[in-house]
Amino acid sequence: MNDYTFLSPTRLIVGKEAEKETGKWIKEFGGTCVLVHHDSGFIKQNGFVDKMINMLKEDGLKVVELGGVVSNPHLSKVYEGIELCRKEGVDFLLAIGGGSVIDSTKAIAMGLPYAGDVWDFFIEEDGIPHDVPKKSTPLGVILTIAATGSECSNSCVITKADENLKRFCDDDINRAKFAIENPELTMTLPSFQTACGIIDIMSHSMERYFTPEKENDILTDYLCEAIFHTCMDCARILMKEPDNYEARASIMVASSLSHNGLTGMGRTGDWASHFIEHELSGEFQTVTHGAGLAVVTPAWMRYVYKDNMDKFVKWATRVMGVSMDYTNPEYTVLEAIDRLEDFFKHLNVPTKLAECPGVGNIDDETLYRMARRVRVVHDDGTVGWVKRLTTEDIVNIFKLAM
């Protein structure tokens, strides 16, 4: 077990009509003038955003609205938000939405009290960031989709669209004060989005479960497994009953716990599947992140499992319910990976590259271009920890996913 610090100070407020408490909690954190930040999709069109704005006004709060957040939220929108907040005297930020909206809100929150350019927190030279945030503006979240876990994470990802730069700023200062989680808000999500969200949640803990360490702490493995079982049980329920309240609630809170650090305590996460997928959905905008993970993860597993057999056997037997084959432990693992793939298929997401919309057969040139773009983690130019993957390895993984 590695030494570690765990902090997850975000208050979860979970339940039917939980959003009615929003004004109370904003005032608890000193808010008087609130930026309501959202995308302009379903929750705006169905009137939920307007309902919330009216509710906050009735609670005596001044409200400023900013919509139009896109997937892979843009730095330009962050600048727009900062300017608007300064003009209006905003002292609290409320994100209504999922990961993109929350990340955009986090960036505005950091930029608001900062004299320089907020992008300084996202870019680095020789591994050293241009600047580190020392202050932020309090922010809260009304979650409308269970997926990224940004509502409880310390992470913020922003894209500078004109240079096609997607950059991270991971800092505890980014943590939301509260996350309002009303499971009913997620019941109208299309089944494909529900499925992709669940896969993303599972993946956040799989990246932390499969580690290079031979001795992991016992507790963290069981916590990861709690997330896996929850995701698989709830997915099966929600494919049949999209409005099952218990399953919606469990998935929503699982999204928060799967990425707040709890399932990574004491270990080095791998994250290769995530970084490889980012380039896949970066190259093919038609690929949703969760669907891309369903393609990349089983291929990655087949490529690397021999490098930590003990952990893959544990997963196969304890999570995927495969009987241990003591003569051929590898068969146990391979059967488990097949079952994972079958599970993804059952969710009606693609599990092969060729099945992804807009992808088809990819030529080697494209494979290498994507592989070369994958975020480098180690000094030797490789990525991942279970197995340190070279560009050639990544191409092989893509080929296994064909």
**Minimal distance, residue 255 CB to its own copies, in Å:** 10
Cβ–Cβ < 8 Å for 52, 96: yes
CA 298/CA 352 separation, integer angstroms: 10
Closest to its own copies by CB, 10 vs 105, is 10
**Minimal distance, residue 314 CB to its own copies, in Å:** 12
Site for its own copies (CB under 8 A): which residue of 57, 254, 355, 364?
A: 254
Q: What is the DSSP string of 206-230?
A: HHHHS-S-SS--HHHHHHHHHHHHH
Cβ–Cβ < 8 Å for 281, 271: no
Cβ–Cβ < 8 Å for 352, 332: no
User: Binding segment for its own copies among 10-18, 31-39, 111-119, 393-401 (CB under 8 A)?
Assistant: 10-18
Closest to its own copies by CB, 229 vs 372, is 229
5 binds its own copies, rule: CB under 8 A: yes
Look up residue 21 and give its amino acid: E
Q: What is the CA radius of gyration of the chain?
A: 21
Closest to its own copies by CB, 317 vs 390, is 317
**Phi and psi, residue 215, nearest 5°:** -105, 105
Q: What is the dihedral of CA 122, 127, 133, 139, to 10 degrees?
A: 50
230 binds its own copies, rule: CB under 8 A: yes
331 binds its own copies, rule: CB under 8 A: no
Closest to its own copies by CB, 182 vs 351, is 182
147 binds its own copies, rule: CB under 8 A: no
229 binds its own copies, rule: CB under 8 A: yes
Closest to its own copies by CB, 13 vs 374, is 13
**Minimal distance, residue 7 CB to its own copies, in Å:** 4
Burial class from Cβ neighbours inside 10 Å (0-12, 13-18, 19+) for residue 242 reads middle
**Minimal distance, residue 150 CB to its own copies, in Å:** 17
Closest to its own copies by CB, 4 vs 331, is 4
Residues 17-36 that bind its own copies (CB under 8 A): 18
Total of chain residues touching its own copies, rule CB under 8 A: 42
Q: What is the dihedral of CA 128, 131, 137, 139, to 10 degrees?
A: -20
User: Binding segment for its own copies among 45-53, 86-94, 226-234, 328-336 (CB under 8 A)?
Assistant: 226-234
Look up residue 266 and give its amino acid: G
Strands 33-38 and 92-97, bridge-based pairing: parallel
Token digits for 285? 């905008």
User: Binding segment for its own copies among 42-50, 135-143, 252-260, 362-370 (CB under 8 A)?
Assistant: 252-260
Q: Which of 90, 151, 78 is nearest to 119 (CA)?
A: 78
Site string for its own copies, 255-294 (x = CB under 8 A): --x-------xx----------------------------
218 binds its own copies, rule: CB under 8 A: yes
E strands present in 198-339: none
CB count within 10 Å of CB 28 equals 14
247 binds its own copies, rule: CB under 8 A: yes
CA 47/CA 44 separation, integer angstroms: 5
Token digits for 219? 């507790």
Burial class from Cβ neighbours inside 10 Å (0-12, 13-18, 19+) for residue 129 reads middle
Give first-to-last CA distance, the chain, whole Å. 36
Closest to its own copies by CB, 12 vs 169, is 12
User: Binding segment for its own copies among 69-77, 239-247, 277-285, 341-349 (CB under 8 A)?
Assistant: 239-247
DSSP character at residue 262:
G
146 binds its own copies, rule: CB under 8 A: no
**Minimal distance, residue 66 CB to its own copies, in Å:** 28
**Minimal distance, residue 147 CB to its own copies, in Å:** 15
User: Binding segment for its own copies among 138-146, 191-199, 251-259, 377-385 (CB under 8 A)?
Assistant: 251-259
145 binds its own copies, rule: CB under 8 A: no
**Minimal distance, residue 282 CB to its own copies, in Å:** 32
- What is the sign of the dihedral through the CA atoms of 333, 309, 291 and 37? positive
Q: Contact residues for its own copies (CB under 8 A)?
A: 1-9, 11-16, 18, 215-220, 222-223, 225-227, 229-230, 233-234, 245-247, 249-251, 253-254, 257, 265-266
